A and B are shown apart, each in its own frame.
Chain A
Amino acid sequence: MSNAKLPSTVRKSKGDDIVVSGNQDYVTMTIADQMFGIPVLQVQDVLGHQRITRIPLAPPEVAGSLNLRGRIVTAIDVRLRLGLTGRPKDKPGMSIVVDLRGELYSLMVDSVGEVLSLTKEDFERNPATLDPRWREVSTGIYRLNGQLMVVLDVPRLLNFTTIETA
């Protein structure tokens, strides 16, 4: 991961001025063998396996809450949010902590990969045929070498009012 981070930080100083370059940095992750990405600036932390307190009566996607250096973080099982089956018990998984309007959420994924810097040319809108549940939480797709990366829209991923209707 460290080798990937270096260029990204270099680029950030450039990109901070104006986003003309069209390059965006994404933290990648894998869920059920599919690669996803979240803009690096939205990511606060990457965690390994954590002890989670279950929250009774919460929506099924809410796995529970955990203590991150004194702040209570709500853990979201992204698999369930995306309409996939729950993670097998024997795999510990990892979490990406994001901030949404001052609240911290930990997105539970299978694994977290490197940070990629991607150009606009490889970006594409969601195919119209994509599962509506995925289309709902994704802003688009990046064509990478050998695989596709789905860009997750964090606010929409955490907008639980849409879940009930879905």
Chain B
Amino acid sequence: MDDLLSEFLTETNENLSVLDVELVRLEQNPNNPELLSNIFRLVHTIKGTCGFLGLPRLEKVAHASENVLGKFRDGELTINPEAVSLILQALDTIKSLLAVLEATEAEPPGDDLPLIERLNLCAEGKLGASAPAAPAPVAAPPPAAPAVAAAESRPATLDELEALWNSIPGPNDPPPAPAVPASTAVVARAPEPVEEPAPSQDLVVPDAEPVAAKMPAPVAPAASGGNSGGADAGAEAATKESAVAAQTIRVNVDLLENLMTMVSELVLTRNQLLQILRSQKESEFAAPLQRLNHVTSELQEGVMKTRMQPIGNAWAKLPRLVRDLAHELNKKIDLQMLGADTELDRQVLELIKDPLTHMVRNSADHGLEIPAERVKAGKTETGRITLNAYHEGGHIIIEIQDDGKGLAIDRIKQKAIQNGMASEGELASMTDQQIIQFIMKPGFSTAAKVTNVSGRGVGMDVVKTNIEKIGGTIEIKSAQGKGSTFVIKIPLTLAIVSALIVECAGERFAIPQISVVELVRAASDSEHTIERLKGTPVLRLRNRLLPLVSLQQLLRLDDSEDAKKPADETFIVVTQVGTYTFGIMVDRVFDTEEIVVKPVAPILRHIEMFSGNTILGDGSVIMILDPNGIASATGEMAMGEAAGKETTAVQTQRQEDKMALLLFRAGEGAPKAVPLSLVARLEDVDLATVEMSNGLPVVQYRGKLMPLVPIDPNFVVASEGRQPVLVFADGDRSMGLIVDEIVDIVEEKLNVQLAAERPGLMGSAIIAGKATEVIDAGFFLTQAYKDWFGSSAQEGFEEEKLQRVLLVDDSPFFRNLLTPLLSVAGYDVTAVENAGDALALCEAGEDFDVIVSDIEMPGMSGFDFAEAVRHGSRWQRIPMVALSSHASARDLDRGRIAGFNDYVAKFDRDALLFALQQTLTDQKGAA
């Protein structure tokens, strides 16, 4: 049954029960306005919901009743037993309508005019004390009407109902059919031929529910004569209430949560008791404790069940979705759902609903081929999508499988290059499995065109994030031409998880078992030892290098108190997050424990290392580590503890994306930084080998002379010792920038806040929480070779004339960054700071071979600029490359539409150069 409908039934039945009681109370104290308004409100609610659900017949009855009640409330009518009976009667009608609704999921056809008429009369005050007179105009129930006035409400209404129903046709008649014979029969007997007797006959329950079976009432023997249901059945109908209402009760979720907490407490207490018991050999508590143990376990299970719902609930919308899709895409799709009754936690269910829908949609749209293609491939016309859910261990596995064409590896590769996620060389060395992972990256969509269905670039990455958020994993298998399978593994419940308890620097932490792959003990006497690469710990595990994360450093724990641990023994918790495997170094490992995850206090929510906290069996509070948080923190954070994360909050300016920066010290003042992408190598130069040439220090490097340039012009090169040098290279030329110390490599949002006056300095920015000077690499390059930019261009591109590039970017930093970069690559660069200036150049008759433009710019945006260029300007045939920090597929498509030939993520120098080259070649080919 439809969720909404069943909820409506439950709720309305509840309300009706309340109404029954309240109305009787109202009859006893007619002057209680509170009671009356409550009744009014309930009836009003019923009316409203009926209207909302499109149940006109119910709505009309409720509306008429509400009218009467409204008059009561406004004091226009006095409350008398007759009127109350009438309302009760209306309620009973509603109940019987609901019964039909419950059985057939549809409102029976017809209406309840006689009843409504009487209600309306009552509302007009005509029913008042002269009850017997009132029913006169009513067709169907005249014999029963006097009884209303006489008898007490309940039986009277029963009679009424019977009278109302007695014209019902045989219960086995199909609902739409009965109108004709039945109504003729009744009309023949009805005193007023004008009246439509059809109303009452429509309470048809097709599956022979006894509601229809009536006492052989005087009015319509023809209709119900053959029925043997008898009086019992009629009574049963009234007392049966509703099967839905009787079987379920509505409980506030808070109450359940509370219950859950209490049970968790009970479990913990039991664990404590059992622990005590274990230490005592003979105890008279043993037997009762055993019993307590069992009862508690069962109770826990029971309470857990109250939160469980079949996964079918999340699937309910899929058949319809797939049907519509099949229609829209002209495909034939067969959706199979297995294990729909597999239960999982409500909370988890809510969270996977959308990802699942999305993936099924994907399978239907991208996965399955159109029938013609399928036939060509030797498959049946109808594509199949199979959903399969089952339990495995403490997890639920959901498989989404299609027998379509499988993931197109080539397309993914192509797209990955296009989006600058990987170079061709990198892709060549990847396995198919690794390449498939790209579809989980943000902004990735292989759909050739954006359809109504999918391909908008918000896709698998969202799915992946959502699933990982609940501690799940997702795995993709694909076979070319055979189909693809997505396997989602999620925990059964978020409330109770199995966790490994570890200790680090005297503090204990819990790591969810789901992400723990294995445990490795590393000690000097074991086969595994921790090795270090420039301070970064790694572990050789089965011929692979496993990156390690020190929990102590990560959480900035100081082990002042617990320094007693043997320093040469470390345990490594091998953890897997998605496809990223890493080891967490801890001091000790305890056993696993079932823990109840509780959210951390709001003031601690920003710490992404923790997914929650819990209370252990011994009563102590423990933090639960979030492997996802650790992975993302260590992926971006350098190992040094100095790399604070505080700066992220400060920087909210637009268009800044993270880029890798090399931090170093040189000369006086703040630490300095240079974009890592500009640096070719880091070298350590023995100063004894430094020679002087042409007044400049040079060093023999790879068979050539490399000039060394100090950042500080007053720097005197020492005669011995070693000096770190940043090597900038282009072609076969290189230049060394002398620095004092290389500090770190950080991924940061680079936001140059103060422009610098000094040459060689681009400005200052906050990097790793400190004010840092960003150096202008171009300046130092020209210090080494005055003709650096010019000459390299000549060498590299001798045979053709210099390609002219127009660079449009509002940020001076990027203009300064990209100008030398592009110059080095052999382009003649003209940089302007906004689209207006660029268009002015166009007016002025300048010509370029390619235009590189930022998207987010004040005033005219990149898109507008492209459109302006493309529509009727002199430059309309010049290729354009968009440059943006937001390289999502949507932007990409927008860029295309606006007229950009390519789209490159900022900070990706290789991608930009590649794109430029590609665009220019294409252009030449086309010309």
Contact = CB atoms under 8 A, between A and B. Distances in A.
B429 to A, nearest CB: 38
Interface stretch (A32-40, A66-74, A146-154): A66-74
Contacts of A62: 603-604
A67 B507 contact: no
28 contacts: A51-B620, A53-B622, A55-B607, A55-B623, A56-B555, A56-B556, A56-B557, A57-B555, A57-B607, A58-B604, A59-B603, A64-B621, A65-B621, A66-B621, A67-B620, A67-B621, A69-B265, A70-B261, A70-B264, A70-B265, A71-B261, A72-B598, A72-B601, A74-B603, A103-B602, A105-B601, A158-B603, A160-B603
A54 interface: yes
Contact of B601 (A51, A53, A67, A74): A74
Interface in A48-103: 51, 53-59, 62, 64-67, 69-72, 74, 101, 103
B302 interface: no
B606 to A, nearest CB: 9
Contacts of A69: 265
B599 to A, nearest CB: 9
Interface of B: 261-262, 264-265, 268, 507-508, 555-557, 598, 601-604, 607, 609-610, 613-615, 619-623
Given A56-B556, A56-B557, A67-B615, A74 B604 contact: yes
Contacts of B607: 55, 57-58
A57 B644 CA distance: 11
B296 to A, nearest CB: 14
A150 B262 CA distance: 38
A74 B607 CA distance: 14
Given A58-B604, A70-B268, A72-B615, A53 B620 contact: yes
B270 to A, nearest CB: 13
Nearest to A53: B621
Given A67-B621, A105-B601, A158-B603, 18 more contacts: A53-B507, A53-B621, A54-B507, A55-B607, A56-B507, A56-B557, A57-B607, A57-B609, A62-B604, A65-B601, A65-B621, A66-B621, A72-B601, A72-B614, A72-B615, A74-B601, A74-B603, A160-B603
A158 B555 CA distance: 23
A67 B610 CA distance: 18
Given A55-B623, A58-B607, A70 B615 contact: yes
A146 B599 CA distance: 45
Contacts of A55: 604, 607, 610, 623
Given A62-B604, A74-B603, A158-B603, A53 B265 contact: no
Nearest to B601: A74
Contacts of B264: 70
Interface of A: 51, 53-59, 62, 64-67, 69-72, 74, 101, 103, 105, 158, 160
Contacts of B604: 55, 58, 62, 74
Given A53-B622, A70-B261, A103 B601 contact: yes
A160 to B, nearest CB: 5
Contacts of A57: 555-556, 607, 609
Contacts of A70: 261-262, 264-265, 268, 615
A66 B264 CA distance: 17
Output the residue of B268, B619, B623 with the most chain A CB within 10 A: B623
Nearest to A65: B621
B781 to A, nearest CB: 41
A65 B623 CA distance: 9
Contacts of B268: 70
B621 A72 contact: yes
B529 to A, nearest CB: 27
A53 B507 CA distance: 8
Contact of A72 (B508, B602, B603, B613): B613
Contacts of A64: 621
Contacts of A66: 621
Contacts of A74: 601, 603-604
A72 B604 CA distance: 13
Nearest to A158: B603
A108 B776 CA distance: 52
A88 to B, nearest CB: 17
B493 to A, nearest CB: 19
A56 B608 CA distance: 11
Nearest to A103: B601
Contacts of B620: 51, 53, 67
A54 B598 CA distance: 16
A163 to B, nearest CB: 9
A69 B268 CA distance: 11
A137 B77 CA distance: 58
A79 to B, nearest CB: 17
A137 to B, nearest CB: 14
A165 to B, nearest CB: 11
A56 B509 CA distance: 11
Nearest to B557: A56
Contacts of B622: 53
A65 B601 CA distance: 9
Contacts of A67: 615, 619-621
Output the residue of A72, A101, A105 with the most chain B CB within 10 A: A72
A54 B623 CA distance: 9
A65 B609 contact: no
**Closest 3 interchain pairs by CB?**
A56-B555, A70-B265, A74-B601
B604 to A, nearest CB: 6
Contacts of B262: 70
Output the residue of B555, B556, B621 with the most chain A CB within 10 A: B621
B601 to A, nearest CB: 4
A65 B619 CA distance: 12
Nearest to B612: A72
Contacts of B621: 53, 64-67, 72
B511 to A, nearest CB: 14
A62 B621 CA distance: 14
Contacts of B265: 69-70
A103 B621 CA distance: 15
Contacts of A59: 603
Nearest to A76: B603
Contacts of B507: 53-54, 56
Output the residue of B264, B615, B622 with the most chain A CB within 10 A: B615
B739 to A, nearest CB: 32
B242 to A, nearest CB: 36
A162 to B, nearest CB: 12
A155 to B, nearest CB: 12
A149 to B, nearest CB: 26
A61 B555 CA distance: 17
B875 to A, nearest CB: 49
A90 B557 CA distance: 22
Contacts of B619: 67
Contacts of A103: 601-602
B609 A56 contact: yes
A58 B609 CA distance: 11
A58 B602 CA distance: 11
A160 B338 CA distance: 49
Contacts of B601: 65, 72, 74, 103, 105
B174 to A, nearest CB: 55
A64 B614 CA distance: 13
Nearest to A102: B602
Nearest to A69: B265
A70 B622 CA distance: 13
A53 B603 contact: no
Contacts of A65: 601, 613, 621, 623
A158 B610 CA distance: 20
Nearest to A105: B601
B676 to A, nearest CB: 27
Nearest to B633: A57
Nearest to A70: B265
B602 A53 contact: no
Contacts of B556: 56-57
A132 to B, nearest CB: 21
